[in-house]
Protein backbone atom coordinates (compact mmCIF):
# COMPACT_ATOMS: atom_id res chain seq x y z
CA UNK A 1 0.00 0.00 0.00
CA UNK A 2 2.99 2.34 0.32
CA UNK A 3 3.42 2.51 -3.44
CA UNK A 4 1.72 5.54 -4.94
CA UNK A 5 -1.35 5.03 -7.14
CA UNK A 6 0.50 7.23 -9.63
CA UNK A 7 3.31 4.67 -9.82
CA UNK A 8 0.73 1.93 -10.41
CA UNK A 9 -0.71 3.99 -13.28
CA UNK A 10 2.81 4.60 -14.59
CA UNK A 11 3.53 0.86 -14.61
CA UNK A 12 0.25 0.24 -16.43
CA UNK A 13 1.23 2.82 -19.05
CA UNK A 14 4.37 0.74 -19.65
CA UNK A 15 2.23 -2.32 -20.24
CA UNK A 16 2.55 -3.99 -16.83
CA UNK A 17 -0.47 -5.47 -15.06
CA UNK A 18 0.00 -3.48 -11.87
CA UNK A 19 -2.54 -3.47 -9.03
CA UNK A 20 -2.66 -2.03 -5.55
CA UNK A 21 -3.96 -4.17 -2.72
CA UNK A 22 -6.92 -1.87 -2.13
CA UNK A 23 -8.04 -2.37 -5.74
CA UNK A 24 -8.55 -6.08 -5.09
CA UNK A 25 -10.02 -5.74 -1.59
CA UNK A 26 -6.82 -6.70 0.23
CA UNK A 27 -5.82 -3.40 1.83
CA UNK A 28 -6.28 -4.91 5.31
CA UNK A 29 -4.67 -8.25 4.51
CA UNK A 30 -1.55 -9.47 6.24
CA UNK A 31 1.78 -9.32 4.45
CA UNK A 32 1.79 -13.12 4.30
CA UNK A 33 -1.59 -13.13 2.55
CA UNK A 34 -0.40 -10.52 0.05
CA UNK A 35 2.73 -12.57 -0.68
CA UNK A 36 0.66 -15.72 -1.20
CA UNK A 37 -1.71 -14.00 -3.63
CA UNK A 38 1.17 -12.40 -5.53
CA UNK A 39 2.94 -15.76 -5.77
CA UNK A 40 -0.20 -17.52 -6.96
CA UNK A 41 -0.64 -14.95 -9.75
CA UNK A 42 3.11 -14.72 -10.52
CA UNK A 43 3.14 -11.04 -9.61
CA UNK A 44 5.98 -8.98 -8.20
CA UNK A 45 5.48 -7.12 -4.92
CA UNK A 46 6.70 -3.52 -4.80
CA UNK A 47 7.30 -2.28 -1.27
CA UNK A 48 9.12 0.09 1.05
CA UNK A 49 8.60 -2.38 3.93
CA UNK A 50 11.97 -3.64 5.14
CA UNK A 51 10.34 -6.74 6.65
CA UNK A 52 9.44 -8.14 3.21
CA UNK A 53 12.80 -9.81 2.47
CA UNK A 54 12.51 -11.80 5.69
CA UNK A 55 8.89 -12.72 4.98
CA UNK A 56 9.77 -13.79 1.45
CA UNK A 57 12.67 -15.88 2.69
CA UNK A 58 10.27 -17.69 5.04
CA UNK A 59 7.71 -18.36 2.26
CA UNK A 60 9.80 -21.09 0.66
CA UNK A 61 6.82 -22.93 -0.84
CA UNK A 62 4.87 -19.91 -2.00
CA UNK A 63 7.22 -17.03 -2.86
CA UNK A 64 6.63 -13.88 -4.81
CA UNK A 65 9.49 -11.85 -6.18
CA UNK A 66 9.77 -8.33 -4.82
CA UNK A 67 11.26 -4.94 -5.46
CA UNK A 68 12.20 -3.28 -2.19
CA UNK A 69 12.78 0.47 -2.32
CA UNK A 70 15.41 1.78 0.08
CA UNK A 71 15.59 5.29 -1.28
CA UNK A 72 15.93 8.62 0.43
CA UNK A 73 13.09 9.96 -1.71
CA UNK A 74 9.66 8.30 -1.83
CA UNK A 75 8.11 10.70 -4.34
CA UNK A 76 6.37 8.78 -7.14
CA UNK A 77 8.36 10.57 -9.87
CA UNK A 78 11.64 9.45 -8.28
CA UNK A 79 10.34 5.90 -7.82
CA UNK A 80 9.10 5.84 -11.41
CA UNK A 81 12.51 6.96 -12.68
CA UNK A 82 14.24 4.26 -10.63
CA UNK A 83 11.84 1.65 -12.03
CA UNK A 84 12.57 2.73 -15.61
CA UNK A 85 16.29 2.48 -14.89
CA UNK A 86 16.19 -0.91 -13.19
CA UNK A 87 13.40 -2.98 -14.75
CA UNK A 88 15.29 -3.94 -17.91
CA UNK A 89 18.20 -5.11 -15.73
CA UNK A 90 16.15 -7.14 -13.25
CA UNK A 91 13.16 -8.56 -15.13
CA UNK A 92 14.78 -11.95 -15.74
CA UNK A 93 15.81 -12.30 -12.09
CA UNK A 94 12.28 -11.38 -10.95
CA UNK A 95 10.79 -13.99 -13.29
CA UNK A 96 13.10 -16.66 -11.82
CA UNK A 97 12.54 -15.51 -8.23
CA UNK A 98 14.41 -12.70 -6.53
CA UNK A 99 14.36 -9.76 -4.21
CA UNK A 100 15.60 -6.61 -5.91
CA UNK A 101 16.73 -3.81 -3.63
CA UNK A 102 16.54 -0.42 -5.31
CA UNK A 103 18.58 2.27 -3.64
CA UNK A 104 19.37 5.84 -4.66
CA UNK A 105 22.56 4.94 -6.46
CA UNK A 106 22.56 1.17 -6.96
CA UNK A 107 20.49 -1.93 -7.48
CA UNK A 108 21.11 -5.26 -5.73
CA UNK A 109 19.63 -8.60 -6.74
CA UNK A 110 19.22 -11.48 -4.30
CA UNK A 111 18.01 -14.55 -6.14
CA UNK A 112 15.93 -16.96 -4.09
CA UNK A 113 18.44 -19.73 -4.73
CA UNK A 114 20.97 -17.58 -2.82
CA UNK A 115 18.73 -17.24 0.27
| Contact predicate 48/74, CB 8 Å | yes
Cα separation, 38 vs 93, in Å, equals: 16
Structural domain span for residue 68? 5-114
CB atoms within 10 A of CB 94: 20
Can you give the pTM of this predicted structure? Answer: 0.89
23-74: per-residue pLDDT in tens?
999 988 888 888 888 889 899 999 998 888 788 777 667 788 999 999 988 8
Q: Could you give the number of structural domains in the chain?
A: 1
Amino acid sequence: MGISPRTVEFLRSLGHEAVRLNEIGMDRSSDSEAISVAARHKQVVLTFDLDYPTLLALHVENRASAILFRTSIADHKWIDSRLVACLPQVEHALEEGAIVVVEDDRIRIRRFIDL
